[in-house]
Structure 1
Amino acid sequence: MFSAAPGRLLPGPYRALFADRTFRRLMPVFALSDLGDGMTVVAVAWLAITLGPEGGQGALAGIAVASYVLPGALGALVLGRWMRRLPARRLLVTDSALRAVLLGTIPLAHLTGLLTPTVYVGLLAASSLLHAWGKAGKHALFAPLLPDDQRLAANSVLSTSLWSATIAGPALAGVLAGAVSPAWIIGMDAATFAVLAVRTGRTTLPRSPAPPVNGGTQGTQRGLSILRRHPELFGLLLVTWVFNLTFGPVEVALPLFVSGDLDAGAGLLGAYWATFGAGAVIGALALGAARRLPLWPVMLGIIASHGVGMLPFALTHTALPSLIGFACAGLVYGPYSALSFTLIQDRAPADSLTTVLAARSAVLLTASPLGAALGGFLLDRTSAPAVLVGCGVLMILTAAASVIMLKLHGRSPRARRRRLRAARRG
């Protein structure tokens, strides 16, 4: 576990962060849960491929990946009336407990022979229903604990934990898939959520301001309204949605690329995600340098560079070029999430933070699953390399179109803020 002594070896912002006792107590269980989620990156799609009918594995994999994420957007919209009453800790505990129970049912259904494609998709979908709120609770949990100048460091540590798990989780899942069914790997993820729910529930946190109580759709609309009042954040939300949409098919096409074009097993699939995660960890640790650069050039540069990293999937005679490209894609993507969350934490009203984060998650949760479903549809009609390379091309086009839009408007969000401040002073 973390202690104050090792903190002396850390850079200043991280040393102060790990001096906080609550952060030290919770970060290990966050890392454990991230590891479980890292394993499901391989296990969810691989289990769908084994359950799917001949010729329909791509479609079922796309549906499974989508069902593991998309209902979270519905939960953010429909359940807001009740979930917004809960503090950040309760949101995280409730989501973690639900995922522990429903994901834990998958290996039991597999053991009893009841795990049909319909049952599998239904359990994945139900387990994700509260995930937008759980994610919002996780990132809002430390807001009342930490001063403003430590929030970027906290978000960087959370992102680094996530991407570190993307190294170890898929690699571990790839090894385990050679010995056990992917259903049991999903069961291991369920166990990590159980640990997270228990540990977080037993941790005493300072009371944060209770969020105002509105209806479900009103709560989501209020969060979106706050985002719309900040053009910089709203523009970033739109660009990120398109970025996530173009990445969605990758999660479905990559398993079929490995099993079909490269004629390899889950171990190589784990290696792909591990190299992506390794690159993302390095990128996340370089967040301090990225933070000093202009926001839009950094964000659009990340999207375009990520797309370039997907182009080597056109080469199917060996895995090495696409492994290197996927690692580079992870490298540039590493700072993206932490930068986004820090901006929202800095700009959104403190008493509406969970609402804004949940609204943002509700919007973004629709993108990748829709992309995954589209990828499953395309994979039954074209090849996996074509889908993967096409995703990269669309990312490059997204960045280019955003640059054109900014130039057509003749000003950047940063310039608009400077002009508004100058107008107020005048």
Structure 2
Amino acid sequence: MPANALVSSCTSASVIIGPALAGFLATAVSPAWILGLDAVSFAVLAVQVGRLGNVAGTTATAAPIGSGRSAAGLNLLRGQPELLGILALTWFFNFLYGPVEVALPLHVTEDLHSGANLLGLYWTLFGVGAVLGALSAGALRRFPLRPVTLGIVAGWGLTLVPFGLGVPAGVSLVCFALGGVVYGPFTALSFTLFQDRTPAALLTTVLAVRSAALLTAAPVGTALGGPLTAAMGPRTVLAVSGIATIALAVAGAAARVRGRRPPAPRPV
């Protein structure tokens, strides 16, 4: 848990710096130049990763995962309702987050009649909250992880609902910052749940399947967010995303309660 929380905190910290820097640069240069600078930064990262190739080659002594272990990992995932439930919850959570990526910028420009500075402030405050939340993930280990994870999902949804009520920008900024605090521990907690419930020999395979499945969630949600925002408006999409996320948490809690019930006795 502490290691997962540290990785999650580093990721959230990047959300603070990136949007804040973009908002500052947008006042001085064209957005096209900012996108070009972003592309150059990826090229620099690619070069740096390439320089690590020899180091990776000397440390990777484990044998590659064969088809037998891959099949065993997939069978384990299919045979573990709890793991499948965690994966489904995480997938739909990321999926319902996707429309926020589309609706929030349009909410800033169309509903609030503002620009890049305010949008950067939204994401910066979210990032600050997410860092604080991720750093608190270690303390949450004292509590049952499944209920805490469901509470995080419901809490994130609640912070989006005020957007649909037409609250002032200052109120929605506070809500988005609180959303970051709530969202921050989720990645570390969900990852830890998978690690705790997977045999060490199959952990790499199971986590690879998890990552492959989750890669589709946010892009699909973002693609759906485009037509939804055009049809319903950004403010409504943000609120609907929040309400749907709360419903997801309720469904997850109901599934957990059903799973803990003892089977009904068969009639003689």
Please classify the TM superposition score into its range, dividing by the shorter chain length.
Answer: 0.7 to 0.9
2:139 to 270, 277, 289: 289
Report matched runs for 1:334-413 at 5 Å.
334-411=184-261
What residue in structure 2 maps to residue 103 of structure 1? Answer: none
TM-score, length of structure 1 as denominator length: 0.56
Match of 1:93 in 2: none
Distance (Å, rounded) in 2 between the aligned partners of 1:332 and 1:213? 39
Superposed, 1:4-403 pairs within 5 Å as: 152-178=1-27, 179-180=29-30, 181=32, 182-203=34-55, 206-214=59-67, 219=70, 222-316=72-166, 318-403=168-253
Give the match's secondary structure for 1:264: coil
Q: 1:293 to 1:169 in 2, by over 3 A?
A: same
Percent pairwise identity? 48
| 8 Å contact from structure 1 (residues 176, 185) kept in 2 | no
Shift of 1:332: 1.1
8 Å CA contact retained: 1:209, 1:351: no
User: How many positions carry a matched residue from both structures?
Assistant: 259
CA distance in 1, matches of 2:188, 2:94: 15
Q: Secondary structure at the match of 1:408?
A: helix
Higher relative contact order (CA 8 A, sep 6+): 2
* Larger deviation, residues 182-191 vs 202-211: 202-211
2:41 and 2:26 mapped to 1: Cα distance? 14
Return the letter of the residue paired with 1:388: L
Give, in whole Å, the separation in 1 of the partners of 2:26 and 2:76.
Answer: 45
Task: Give the aligned CA root-mean-square deviation in angstroms.
Answer: 2.4
Contact 1:348–1:356 (CA under 8 A) maintained in structure 2: yes
Structure with greater helix share of residues: 2
**Closer, same or farther: CA 352–310 of 1 in aligned 2, 3 Å:** same
8 Å CA contact 2:90–2:190 kept in 1: the answer is no
Unaligned runs of 5+ in 2: 263-268
Paired residue type of 2:122: Y
CA shift, 1:350, in A, is 3.6
Any idea what SS the aligned residue of 1:287 has?
coil
Deviation per residue, 1:369-417 (Å, 9 max, x gap): 1111111011121110000000000011111112222223344xxx9xx
Amino acid at match of 1:158: V
The code of the aligned residue for 1:212 comes to I
Cα distance, 1:160 vs structure 2: 0.6
Matched residue SS, 1:381 = helix
